Structure 1
Amino acid sequence: MAFLAALTATPVLAQQASPAVEVGVLSMQRQEVPQGFDLPGRAVAYEQVAIRPRVGGIVTQILYTPGKEVRAGDPLFQLDDATYQAAVANDRAALVTAEANLPVKQAAFDRAQRLLNQGATRVDLETAQYDLAAAKATLEAARAALDFAQTQLSWTTVRAPIEGIPEVQEVSVGDLVTAGQTTAMTTLTRLDPIYVDMLEPSTRLLEIRRRIEDGTMTANRTMDATLVLEDGEIYTGKGTLVTPSAVVSATTGTVAVRFAFENPGHKILPGMFLRGTVTQGTTRAWLVPQRAAARSAMGDLTAFIIAEGKAKRVTLTPSGTWQNNWVVTAGLSDGDQLIVDGLKSMTPGKAVTGVPATIDAAGLVQDAPKAE
C-alpha cells in the first residue's frame, strides 16, 4: 500500500517541483507608429503611344532597334517621299508666281488711283483694287500650300513623339501604309517613371476618415508607398501620390489610387501585379512582432503576456501592419511583458520567467544585449 501511494504521489510532486520555463519577452510601450496598409496593385505605363503614319506611302526604311530606348524626335520609319517632294516643288513654283504677280497688280492699282478722272475711270480703279486684293490672297494661299506640303514631306519620316522603348515593328520595308490607319506601325512605351494603381477598399477609406476625425490617427501631409515585386523582392524606390479615383468600382468595391515610382532600371513593367504598402498617417499603438501573435479559431488575433508569473492569453485589436509587426491599438498596456518565443508549447496558466529579448530585422528573436 505504501508503494502504491508513493507511485500516485510522484506526478503531483513532480508537477509541484517543475520550475518555471524561461521565455523571451519584449516590454510593450505605446508609440507613434506609421499607419500603413498592404494593397494589391498593377503597373501602368507612364506614357504609351501607338505609332501610326500621318501620310500614306511605301515603307522604305526602319530606322530604330526594337527594345533600344529612343528620344522624342528620333526617326523610327522612312516612307517614300517622291510624291511629297513633287508637291513641295509645285507649291514653291506657285508661290514664286504669286510673289511676281503682286507688284504688277500693286502698280496697276497705284496708276489707276493716280489717274482717276484723268484718263482712268472709277470702274478702272475698282477693278485694279480687286485685282490687287486677289493677288495678295493668292500669295497667302500659295505660302500656306507650300507650308502644308513641306509639313507633309516631313511626315514621311515617322518620328517618336515621346522618349521610350519601341516594340518590334508591325510593318516591313515595302509595305504600303495609309494616313491614320487603325493598325499601329509599332508601340512606344515610356517606363521611367511608371504608374502603379493600388486598390483601396472603400470601407477602409471610411474607417481611416473616422479615425482621423476622432483623433486616433494623424494623417500625413504626403502619402508615400513602397512596393513588393512579384518575386517577393522589396523595391527600393518610393512612390508619391498622383491622384485617387473619385469613383468606387461597382464590381470590387475598391477605389484606385495612383502612385508614380522612379523606374530607372526598368525593373517594373506595365501589366505587372504588385503589392504595395501605403503609409497614410501615424497612430499611437503597440508594435507586436508577427511571430508573437496568432489567429484563434474564431479569427481573433491573440498573444501571450506574463501576468503574476504565468502565461496569459490576450486578444489584440490590430490596425494594419508595419514592417514585421502588427500595429495593435487595444488589448495591451504599457509595461506588459509580451512572450515572443516558446509559443508552440505555450498554454494559459503555464509558469514562465521572462528573459529580455530583441527582434532583428528579419523578425527573429535574439537575446537582448547584457548591460556592462
Structure 2
Amino acid sequence: MLVMVGLVAAGSAATAQDQMPPKQVGVVEMKLEKVPRIITLPGRAVAAEEAAIRPRVGGIVTDILYQPGEMLTAGTPMFRIDATTYEAAVVSAEAEVVAAEAALTQATLAYNRAEKLAGSGSTIADVETAQSTMKQAEARLNTAKADLKVAKAELNWTTITSPIKGYASVAGVSVGDLVTAAQSDALATVTLLDPIDVDMYEPSVRILNVIKDVQSGRLEISNPIKMTLTLEDGTTYEASGELLASGFRVSTSTGSVTSRFRFENHGRRLLPGMFLRGQIELGTIDAFLVSHSATTRDRTGQLTAWVAENGEAMRRELTDVGSWKNSWIVTDGVEVGDLVIADGFSGLTSGATVTMVPVEYDASGVVRNVVPASNEEPAATSNPASAE
C-alpha cells in the first residue's frame, strides 16, 4: 500500500512539473558596437630624470651650498671641496706651459739657423738634430697645455654643481668629510618631478591579442595612445599621459612587457616609487556589450552567460577583452541578434523553456523594461521574473 501511495505521489508531482508555465526572463538583443578598447595595467612611477651627485675629485668637503628640498636649476652649486692642492696644480701647469713655450722658441731659432748654414757652417746631421729638438719642444708644449687644461678642470670640479633641474635630497655628507673621486656613495640626489614617467607592465599574451585584433581590422588604434591613472587611494589622477616608449622585451620572470608613459605633475602628487593603476585607451573595437550582472565566471576565469535560443535557455562561453562601464567587451560567443538573458536567470537549467520579455539597461546598469512603441506607461519594476 505504501509503495502504491508513493508511486501515485511521484506521478502527481511529475504531472504538476510538466504543467508548470515557462519561466519568464528579460532578454537584451545583441548589437555590434564600436567600443573604446581600454585596458587596466599595474604600474610604478619613476623619475623622468634623476642624477646621483658624486665628486670628480677627492678632498675635504668645506661647504654645503644648497638647502635640501629646494628646486635647483642645472649648474646650481651644491658642494665645495678644499681647492688648495688644485689651485697649486694650476699654477704649476701654467709655469710648465711658459717653460715649454720658451724651449720651443729656442729650438725653433736653432733649427732656422742650422737650416740657413746647411752646407757651409752646419752639416745635414746638425739640421736634422735641430729639427728633432724643435719637434720635441712642440710636443712638450702640447703636453703642458693639456696638463693645464686638466688642472683647471679639476679646480672647477672642486665646486660640485647639479647637472639637471630638479629637487635636491638631504646631503649624504657633512662639512669636514673626506670624499674621493668617483666614489660609490652619492653626496646627494637631484630628481626631476615634473614631468614624471610611469612604467606600465602588460602581459605578453595580451599584446598578442591586441596585434591579432589590429590585423583582423577589429581594433582601430588611436594616435596618440593616452592613459589615465588611478592612485593608491582610489582617486583618479586628473592629468592624462602619452606613450613615451613602448616595450620590446618580455621579462623572463613576470612574462610582461614594460611601456613608459609621461605625465604632467605640477602638484607633485606623483612621486617616484608609487604604485599606480593605469587605464590605457588603445582605440575602438567592434564588439558586443554584455552586462556584468548577466554573466558569471567559473574558477578558471571562463566568462559565461545565458542565451535564449528558440524559446530555450542555453549557457554560452564568452570571450572578452576587458570592460566598458557596466559591461564586458565580448568578441566571441554571441552574434548579432542573439538574446542574452539579463534578468530572471536564477535557477535556470540548460534547455529550460522560457518566455522572453525585452529589457534594457539604464545609465547605472539597472535592468528596465523596454518602453513600448505605443508610448504606453512602462512597468515600474525591472524584474520580469518578479511575478513568478
TM-score by length of 1: 0.77
1:366/1:120 CA distance change after superposition, 3 Å: farther
Displacement of 1:53 in angstroms is 0.6
Residue from 348, 363, 366 that aligns with 1:359: 363
State the partner residue of 1:136.
138
Q: Is the 8 A contact 1:319 1:328 kept in 2?
A: yes
3-state SS of the aligned residue for 2:220? strand
- Map Cα deviations across residues 26-74 of structure 1 (whole Å, 9 max, x no partner): 8864321121211111122222222111100111111122122212221
3-state SS of the aligned residue for 2:148? helix
Q: Is the 8 A contact 1:77 1:159 kept in 2?
A: yes
C-alpha separation in 1, matches of 2:164 and 2:276: 26
| Alignment-mate amino acid for residue 296 of structure 2 | R
- Map Cα deviations across residues 192-250 of structure 1 (whole Å, 9 max, x no partner): 33332222122222222333333333344543322211111212233333334333233
Moved more, 73-82 or 219-228: 219-228
RMSD: 3.8
Q: Which blocks of at least 5 consecutive residues in structure 2 are unaligned?
A: 1-19, 376-388
State the partner residue of 1:10.
none
Displacement of 1:300 in angstroms is 5.5
| Alignment-mate amino acid for residue 359 of structure 1 | A
1:365/1:176 CA distance change after superposition, 3 Å: farther
State the partner residue of 1:189.
191
| Alignment-mate amino acid for residue 38 of structure 1 | T
1:65/1:324 CA distance change after superposition, 3 Å: farther
- Map Cα deviations across residues 96-144 of structure 1 (whole Å, 9 max, x no partner): 2222333232222212211223323333323322222222222211111
Q: Is the 8 A contact 1:47 1:189 kept in 2?
A: yes
Identity of aligned residues (%): 44
C-alpha separation in 2, matches of 1:260 and 1:54: 32
State the partner residue of 2:264.
262
| Alignment-mate amino acid for residue 62 of structure 1 | I
C-alpha separation in 1, matches of 2:160 and 2:48: 22
Displacement of 1:158 in angstroms is 0.8
C-alpha separation in 2, matches of 1:213 and 1:320: 19
Q: Is the 8 A contact 1:40 1:273 kept in 2?
A: yes
| Alignment-mate amino acid for residue 272 of structure 2 | P
Moved more, 25-34 or 209-218: 25-34
1:61/1:365 CA distance change after superposition, 3 Å: farther
Q: Is the 8 A contact 2:231 2:276 kept in 1?
A: yes
Count of residues in correspondence between the two structures: 347
C-alpha separation in 1, matches of 2:243 and 2:179: 41
Q: Is the 8 A contact 2:294 2:341 kept in 1?
A: no
| Alignment-mate amino acid for residue 295 of structure 1 | T
C-alpha separation in 2, matches of 1:365 and 1:83: 83
Structure 1 position 274 matched with structure 2 position 276: yes
| Alignment-mate amino acid for residue 153 of structure 1 | L
| Alignment-mate amino acid for residue 204 of structure 1 | R
Structure 1 position 89 matched with structure 2 position 105: no
State the partner residue of 1:127.
129
Displacement of 1:173 in angstroms is 0.6
Moved more, 141-150 or 238-247: 238-247
- Map Cα deviations across residues 152-211 of structure 1 (whole Å, 9 max, x no partner): 001101111222222111100110101111211112222233332222122222222333
C-alpha separation in 2, matches of 1:293 and 1:68: 55
Q: Which blocks of at least 5 consecutive residues in structure 1 are unaligned?
A: 1-15
Structure 1 position 226 matched with structure 2 position 228: yes
C-alpha separation in 2, matches of 1:325 and 1:254: 26
State the partner residue of 2:65.
63
3-state SS of the aligned residue for 1:270? coil
Q: Is the 8 A contact 2:358 2:370 kept in 1?
A: no
> Mapping of 1:1-372 within 5 angstroms?
29-288=31-290, 290=292, 292-295=293-296, 301=303, 317-330=319-332, 358-359=362-363
C-alpha separation in 2, matches of 1:152 and 1:367: 82
Q: Is the 8 A contact 2:359 2:368 kept in 1?
A: no
State the partner residue of 1:12.
none
Q: Is the 8 A contact 1:306 1:354 kept in 2?
A: no
Q: Is the 8 A contact 2:360 2:367 kept in 1?
A: no
